[in-house]
Amino acid sequence: MHAWTLISFLFFTGLVALITWRITHRDDLSNTRGYFLAGRSLTFPLIAGSLLMTNLSTEQMVGLNGAAFADGLSVMAWEVVAVVALVLLALFFLPRFLRSGITTVPQLLLERFGPTAQLICNVIFLIAYAVILLPIILYSGAVGLQGMLDLPVLTGIESSTTLLWLTVWGVGLIGAIYALFGGLRTVAVSDTINAIGLLVGGLLIVYLGLDAVGDGNGIAAGWHAIQASQPERLNSLGGPDQQVPWPTLFTGVFLINLFYWSTNQQIIQRTFAARSLSEGQKGVLLTGFLKLLGPLYLVLPGIIAFQLYAGDGIAPDQAYGHLVFHLLPPWLTGFFAAVMVGAILSSFNSALNSTTTLFSLGIYKGVFRKDASESEVVKSGKVFGWIMAVASMAIAPLLAGQESLFDYLQTMNAIYFIPILAVVIVGLLTKRVPESAAIFGLIGGIVLIALGYFVPPFNAILDLTNQYHFVAGVFVLLILGMLLIGKIAPRREAWIQEDVKAVDLTPWKGAVPVGILLLVLVFAIYLAFAN
């Protein structure tokens, strides 16, 4: 059994690598435009595939299904509310980003505010990716693979700690090779191939899981069995004791989604590489449609796992791997594990590629070597990328023991998501708010959220209100503070955003009607499952 699992895993993993190499091996990666922005050549299928796979790593597959195992359908907020953020990205943020021809979000802050705001934003991103994002991707990936492939039996390694370290380092090294030797286009192509496998495999898990719940009588019988035994867990609106209480959909949950899909360098770098605004908008809105399917393969499997294995004593974050291992035949288990590795690599190498972009253009060329050549900038990114990869591989195993991986991820993300989002929005919507206001927003926001999270007596505020309401309150304070600074000490000249002619900015004619349709579908999904 394990032999077939391992053979199919290695076959599919190698096949994706071979196809990706065949498509991208002639790419020019000697300059920053080719290495960091894929030569601004991405069309909408590649943008959508890469956006989806960058998002759908194991912190989503393992973590969100684990959250569903614990709380039920209400955690679908992280998928469905994301569609609202994607519509805003397509219609509001992306046209402005492409107008400036930026490669990184901090470059926008340089243009709008000044070099100090850019430097602070660069440092925030780099620290957050090194300490939060990259380690969580690797840790969740290792946990998922251990369950799917039954690695303790397959390898004969009895120590869970040793196996965790080895898995983390194995996946991390492969991901680093993809990201640092191939550039953004290699990431995008491999993402798109893996996205197809992930959607097929994810929906297959749902089909087999519902059939198992229905005792082999089909998926309808399985769904009716879940409805009969877990009606309270099929409510789209979370209660006050759950991870996503429904009022937070309009506060912190929405703001975290908005940052993630519109301002997070790891995600939107592939939209910066769009061939045109029209292609970018098509790719973003296609991602929105695919995200509407997210509850099927990112939430429902967790509910199915609860139905089948709630009495087996498994932890929430072990539920998805446990389900896959017990439902799929060996050769399909290997295929799905290969797709999952693709998902892990996608998020890891996308984050690593974004990290090298931020460092090379914002720190190395922006601070240390302003006269650096194109090849020197690319080389600096590769060296720094290896440093970040090793650091994240060292930190990842230390995350073992978190009660809910996905809840931990969103909690930690808010520390830097909220301040950067506030500064970007104020920057785009105002003309005279000065750089001092941006510095206040970036540093003040992180300090306020960190105090509320970790430092007595300030953290007592979380006893009075939900953490997502708290970070939304900080967001409002930051906006008001920056506007007040702009009123008291405005910049001398109004900021005017110039079109640098990086790409064709003609919008897609279908963008607005498709965006409206997506918003209607979001409302309909929530209404259909609201109890």
Does 58 have pLDDT greater than 70?
no
pLDDT digits (tens, 9 = 90+) for 345-363: 767 777 777 788 888 888 8
Does 273 have pLDDT greater than 50?
yes
Q: DSSP labels for 477-502?
A: HHHHHHHHHHHHS--SS--------S
Instruction: Indicate the pLDDT class of residue 228, thresholds 50, 70 and 90.
Output: very high
Mean pLDDT in residue range 467-473: 96
Measured distance CA(238)–CA(80) in Å, rounded: 14
Reduce the DSSP state of residue 274 to 3 states and report it: strand
pLDDT, position 1: 44
Q: Which of 22-31, 119-128, 165-174, 274-283 has the lowest mean pLDDT?
A: 22-31
pLDDT, position 411: 84
pLDDT, position 337: 75
pLDDT digits (tens, 9 = 90+) for 291-329: 998 899 899 999 999 999 988 888 888 888 889 888 888
pLDDT digits (tens, 9 = 90+) for 190-208: 666 776 777 788 889 999 9
Q: Give CA angle at 416 (70, 238), nearest 5°.
A: 25
List residues bridging with 42 in a β-sheet. Answer: 274
Does 37 have pLDDT greater than 60?
no
Does 410 have pLDDT greater than 70?
yes
CA neighbor of 355 nearest in space, from 133, 120, 166, 141? 133
pLDDT, position 28: 53
Q: Which of 181-190, 256-265, 366-375 has the lowest mean pLDDT?
A: 181-190
Q: Which of 67-76, 311-320, 339-348 has the lowest mean pLDDT?
A: 339-348
Single-letter amino acid code for the residue at 132:
I
Measured distance CA(349)–CA(175) in Å, rounded: 5
Mean pLDDT in residue range 479-488: 98
Which spans in 101-159 are helix H? 105-112, 115-128, 134-149, 151-155
In contact, 468 and 246? CB cutoff 8 Å: no
Mean pLDDT in residue range 35-48: 72
pLDDT, position 267: 85
For residue 374, count CB atoms less than 10 angstroms from its CB and return exposed for 0-12, middle for 13-18, buried for 19 or more: middle
Measured distance CA(339)–CA(146) in Å, rounded: 14
Measured distance CA(369)–CA(503) in Å, rounded: 28
pLDDT, position 160: 82
In contact, 204 and 333? CB cutoff 8 Å: no
Does 517 have pLDDT greater than 90?
yes
In contact, 210 and 225? CB cutoff 8 Å: no
pLDDT digits (tens, 9 = 90+) for 128-139: 988 888 898 888
Q: Give the distance from CA 100 to its chain's centroid.
A: 24
Greatest mean pLDDT among 123-132, 369-378, 422-431, 455-464 lies in: 422-431
